[in-house]
Structures are given as structure tokens and as C-alpha cells.
Amino acid sequence: MLKSLLFSAALLITQIVVQAQTWRSEYYPSNWTAPTTKNFYTDAFLQDYSYAGYQRGEVDIPAPAGKVFDVTKAPYSADKTGVKDATSAIQNAIDDAQTNKGGVVYLPAGTYQVNPGSNNFCLRITSSNISIKGAGVGKTFIYNNTYTMKGKSIISIYANAGWSTTPSSKALLTADIMNPVNVLPVDNTSLFKVGDVVVVRNYINDSWINEHKETAWLGYGSSLGGLMYCRIVQAVDAVKKTITIDVPVRYALKTRDGSCVYKTTGMISEIGLSGFSIGNKQHPATSGYGETDYSVSGTGAYDCDGAFMIKFNGAINCWMKNVSTYKIASNTTGAHMLSNGVIVTYSKNVSIDSCSFSYAQYGGGNGNGYAYRVTANETMVSNCTSYFVRHGLVFASMYCSGNVFYKCKDIKSGAQCGSTGNEKTNGFGSDHHQHFSQSNLVDNCYSENSAFYASYTPYGSNPMHNLTATHSTYWNITSGGTNPYCVWTQQGRYGYAIGTSGTASAVYTKEAKAGSATITDPVDIVEGVGKGATLSPQSLYQDQLNNRLADIFTAVNPVEPQNTMFTVFPNPASSSITVEFVSEGAINNTVVILNALGQAVFQQNVNGVKSLNIDVQNYPSGLYFVKVNSDITKLLIAK
């Protein structure tokens, strides 16, 4: 008894001591709320990064579901020994699944040889609700047997998203938006309805460039593209002339810069890749892998230039999980891939989880040798690894914002296999690569003989990369190896590095180019160097997500959520749901469906019935809640 009491007392003392040693950021106090009044130009603050990932992080990545198209069975009969080409067989299965309006293209354990032929891809998905599923990493292998892959990919998820094409029907913002808000004043609300996918954007001109002191960009505004935020309309108020969008804007939008909102069509959703290894035949050239050899025809670099293992373009609410590169047995250099791993571009709310992209043969200039490249909105890359590439985890472009790298590892960047198996590249690290990406988060990530960057980068062709980021945060970064620092941050307006640990826990805020501080001042905010292990909370993303989801539950149900009266199926749903009551012939039941804003989108009183069928095909995709009297459950509508 005494021993038990002493143990309990010791445990309590330990907990008190540990609790006393923890610390919080000045910019994230225990009573933090999403900052809707802070000014992007003048205030230092942490945004709400919790909207990243599939369905804004509100539900888990789903398991592949639907009719199964087994590529090894008739009429496809794909060879799974790796001897015969299986490209057409697999693509035919994908096409049939698309004709079926959805399905799972299943690749049983085995090796599947593919080749792009005259296409710029080996396999392509262009419709929603399609999954490619293998038997698991190390069991199902997709093997591309050609090395002439300039500008090509092995797997392409593609839709013409139309983000950058301004239609004739657009609504202009009627006031400057200087804060991270989701209610926008517009001159014409009649263009929009709830559920519309829209682009909120500006256009870069010399006034914007001068305001940001990046005079090297003068005259290149149209090449920079502009800030673009893909959003879903959640409410339209014709009286106040406002629309409400699902995620706050990530930087200031001024009327001076033609800031506007317009609908975009054609994006595809609910596409998943899972459970396979993917590799590429190495290039046989014994030289020609230099920094600029990508432009020299006949070199290995020329054929590898711009090659990707996987591309997501025009995707919304899609995912990839448990996918890894592998070395084909005949690859003597150790290469897994010719150049790049995965890119997510012109997309929103894509999740990439538990993946590994490593060993690039070519990592020269022109954007080669990147493991994970995100040029999109609210993408989540979690529990992923890059190894032996030029750049591990990359944010790039003005339409890159609100993305999160969480619990990822970048090990030994600045490397390529080349022809010898161990060569250096001119660039290294995981970086905000170019052109003013906004409000991204790197959380609980690890670098070893590498580093994380959001520094001023005076490289590239015009317009040069230069001012690479603003209002982005490094949170609880750990390092290993011999690099002297783990973070180098020199962002425009404000940047943040909060909590580091490991063998190289230093944070650099110095100029990357002499004189560049006059462009990026003030100096970025740094807290807790070497103290990441006691930072509270350990994850900014997880804490913000937990708080936001708790707020959603409270908004729709002020008491503890529960459900004992009914079940809802299918869940997720796309066209209709059935609410089935536990009690046969239940009476005086009020069935309500609420959206994530707590607004009732359906309500009906029912008496003396066992179940109720509800048509939800016109409801926008997202998180909903079904209430029967005081009981409540979550419902995901996914299309």
C-alpha cells in the first residue's frame, strides 16, 4: 500500500514538473481564437491552418469503395508478372470504372509493366469517384519500363480546373480584404449559389510589386499569375451583397488589383490511390546529368526533365495513401524515379499520407528532383518521407497557400543518383521555392542533413524566385545530421519559427542575399530555439483542428454529441440516405440535417415509421450532421 502511494505521489510530482517546464508561443496563447481582425500587412499572427487535407480534415481518408474492377480478370487480363505490357489493360479498367460513374480499379499482388507510348502519361484518371488500389506496398508494383519521360508522368489525375482562366461572368470585390476572413463583399451575388466551387483571386501589377518592394519583378506581373484561393460557397446574402466561403483567404486582396470571384467547373473529386509501390527504369546514359543539361538533347537529363511519378491536377477532396517508390532490380544506380515524385497543382483539399518518394536519378535545374511539390490550396502531406533528392518537401507559386506538411521527414537532400549512384545537386532542402506562397505550415517535421527554407532566393529565370513566402509557420521542427541549422526563414511581411530541437536546432533569419532585408523586413519571429520538446501544444495543426471540430459540434448541438435513436446509411453518401430508427413505429421524431455552419438544410417531422429516405444529391460535398430530436451523428456527403 505504502509503495503504491509513494509511486502515485512520484508520478504526480513528475507530471507537475513536466507541466511546469512546458511553454507556449506568445502568438498561440491558451485562449487563441482564429484571427479575423488581424491585418496581413501590419500584424504578426498565426492563422488557422486546420482546413488542410481531404474534406478539410473533418473526416478520415476513406477506404476505397464501389464496384471492383480487377485488372487481372477478363476482359482486362493484365499480366502481373511484369513481362508483358499491362498499360492498356489497366487503362481499360479505369475507363470502365469511369463509365460506371465510379469504382475501384484493383491491382492484385504482382508487377505491372506500363509505358506512356505517345501519351504524356502511362495511366490517367479524368472522372470523379475512382480509386486505384493495390495489395499493399511491397506487394503490388507498377513499373514504367521507359526512360524517355520528358514532361511525362506515370499516373495522372487530371481535370482542366480553369483556375487561371477568368470568365466573362465574375464578381468584383467591393472592399479591400486585409484580414483572414471568409465573408466577402461582392458586386453581384446572383452569380453564385451554395455549393459552387469558386476562385477568389487578384492580378499582380506593378503597384502590387512596388508595395511589396520586389522591384526585380516589375513588368512580370502577368507571369506571376496572382494569388488564387479555390473555395466552396457556403452562403449567399443578396441583401448584404456577400458570399461566405468554406476557408478564409490567406493574404490581402485589394480592389486596386482587380480582385474578384468566379466559378470554376470541371474539377474532379473523390479519387484515391493506395497500396502499391511504383518505380521507373533508370536512364542508361553515363554522363549528362549536370545542372543545365536538361536543355541539351541527347543527355540523360534531357529525357528525365520534368518527369513525375504521380500528378494531381484539378483535384478536390482526393487522396493518396501508402504509396512508395522502389528500385527496379536492373537499376544499378539505385534510382527509384527519373526526377520528381508527386505534384499537386491547381487542386484543393488533397491528402497524401504515409508515402515515400526517394532516389531521384536527376536533380538538376528547371524543377527536377523534387519528392513532394505542392502548388495548390489546403493540401495535407502527412507521415511522409523523402530521401536522396534535390528538394524534399516544396511549396511553390502564388496559388500555393494554406497547405500543411505534418510529421514528414526530409533526409539527405541535395542529392541525385545520376550515373554513379551518389552525386550532389546545386540545390537542397525542403523549401518555399518561389514567388510568394502564402500562409503554409510545416509542423512536427524532421530534417537530417537537410533543412527547411522560406528564405529570399535570388535564383531562377525571370521573374526570379526572390520573395518566396509570407505568413508561413515552422512549428516544432526537429533536426539531425551535420547541417548547422534546421530552419532559415526570411519571408515577406512576417514569418514564424516556433520551437526547434535536435542536433542542429538553430534558426537563421539573416539575409540570403546582401540588401534583401530591405525587401523582407521586419525580421521573422523566432521562439523556443532548442526547446521544441517542451512546446505546448506539440502540434499546432492538430490542436487547431481539434478546437475547430469541437466548435462545429457545439454549434450544432450544445450538449455532448450522442446517438442512440437511429442509424444513417450509406455514410459517406452521394445521392440519398436512409435514416433508420431503433424503435419500430417511432412517433414525434424531428429529423434535421445541418451543414458545418450549423444551418438546417433539411427538416421533417415523422410519425409511425421505421425509416426515412432523404435525397441529398443536390447538397454540396462536405461534413453534415443528422439530428433526431436531441441525438446527433456525423454524415459525410462525397461526390
Task: Report whether pLDDT(555) > 80.
Answer: no
Q: What's the whole-number mean pLDDT along residues 626-637?
A: 83
Cβ contact 321:61 at 8 Å: yes
Tell me which residue has cell 550532389.
424
Q: How far apart are CA 500 and CA 31, in angstroms?
A: 23
Q: What is the pLDDT of residues 359-416, one digit of tens each?
A: 999 999 999 999 999 999 999 999 999 999 999 999 999 999 999 999 999 999 999 9
- Torsion sign (Cα): 35, 432, 479, 523: negative
Q: How far apart are CA 477 and CA 243, in angstroms?
A: 37
Cβ contact 400:251 at 8 Å: no
Note the pLDDT of residue 436: 97
Contacting residues for 455 by C-beta, under 8 A, at least 6 apart: 431, 468, 488, 489, 490, 508, 512
Cβ contact 541:53 at 8 Å: no
Task: Report whether pLDDT(245) > 90.
Answer: yes
Note the pLDDT of residue 557: 63
Tell me which residue has cell 436531441.
630
Q: How far apart are CA 268 and CA 532, in angstroms?
A: 39
- Is the pLDDT higher at 62 or at 588? 62
Q: Which backbone phi and psi does 10 adopt, to 5 degrees?
A: -65, -40
Task: Report whether pLDDT(159) > 50.
Answer: yes
Q: What is the pLDDT of residues 93-143, one digit of tens each?
A: 999 999 999 999 999 999 999 999 999 999 999 999 999 999 999 999 999
Q: 434-463: string of b/e by CB count within 10 Å (b at 16+)?
A: bbbbbbbbbbbbbbbbbbbbbbbbeeeeeb
Bridge partner residues of 253 (DSSP)? 177
Task: Report whether pLDDT(462) > 80.
Answer: yes
Note the pLDDT of residue 152: 98
Three cell numbers at 99? 463509365
Note the pLDDT of residue 586: 61
Q: What's the whole-number mean pLDDT along residues 195-223?
A: 96
Q: What is the pLDDT of residues 179-199, one digit of tens each?
A: 999 999 999 999 999 999 999
Note the pLDDT of residue 6: 40
Band of pLDDT at residue 562, cut at 50, 70 and 90 = low
The answer to whether the bond into 29 is cis (omega within 30° of 0) is: no
Distances (CA, A) of 376 to 10, 163, 174, 416, 525: 50, 11, 26, 26, 25
Of the candidates 393, 382, 421, the residue with the CA atom closest to the CA atom of residue 539: 382
Of the candidates 297, 388, 326, the residue with the CA atom closest to the CA atom of residue 144: 326
Task: Report whether pLDDT(2) > 70.
Answer: no
Three cell numbers at 290? 549536370
Q: What is the pLDDT of residues 404-436, one digit of tens each?
A: 999 999 999 999 999 999 999 999 999 999 999
Structural domain spans, the chain: 145-161+268-438, 171-263, 557-637
Note the pLDDT of residue 499: 98
Cβ contact 370:382 at 8 Å: no
What predicted TM-score, i.e. pTM, was given to this entire model? Answer: 0.91
First vs last C-alpha separation in the chain: 60
Note the pLDDT of residue 556: 65
| Mean pLDDT (the chain, rounded) | 93
Band of pLDDT at residue 585, cut at 50, 70 and 90 = low
Q: What's the whole-number mean pLDDT along residues 453-474?
A: 95
Cβ contact 619:196 at 8 Å: no
Three cell numbers at 576? 440519398
Task: Report whether pLDDT(234) > 60.
Answer: yes
Of the candidates 319, 443, 250, 271, the residue with the CA atom closest to the CA atom of residue 59: 319
CA angle 392, 126, 273 (to 5 degrees): 45
Task: Report whether pLDDT(20) > 70.
Answer: no
Residue 322: in which H helix or E strand, if any?
strand 315-325
Contacting residues for 49 by C-beta, under 8 A, at least 6 apart: 402, 404, 439, 441, 443, 473, 540, 541, 544
Of the candidates 624, 609, 458, 492, the residue with the CA atom closest to the CA atom of residue 556: 624
Distances (CA, A) of 197 to 253, 255, 481, 618: 19, 21, 45, 14
Note the pLDDT of residue 596: 76
Q: What is the pLDDT of residues 269-309, one digit of tens each?
A: 999 999 999 999 999 999 999 999 999 999 999 999 999 99
Q: Which backbone phi and psi does 231 adopt, to 5 degrees?
A: -140, 165
Of the candidates 352, 361, 416, the residue with the CA atom closest to the CA atom of residue 385: 352
Band of pLDDT at residue 605, cut at 50, 70 and 90 = confident
Q: What is the CATH number of domain 557-637?
A: 2.60.40.3080
Residue 14: in which H helix or E strand, if any?
helix 2-21
Q: How far apart are CA 439 and CA 494, in angstroms?
A: 10
Cβ contact 506:529 at 8 Å: yes
Q: How far apart are CA 106 and CA 423, in angstroms?
A: 38
Strand runs labelled E in 60-148:
68-70, 81-85, 103-107, 110-114, 121-125, 130-134, 140-144
Note the pLDDT of residue 16: 43
Band of pLDDT at residue 513, cut at 50, 70 and 90 = very high
Task: Report whether pLDDT(10) > 50.
Answer: no
pLDDT above 70 as % of the chain:
95
Q: What's the whole-number mean pLDDT along residues 76-97?
A: 98
**Amino acid identity of 434?**
Q
Residue 469: in which H helix or E strand, if any?
strand 469-470
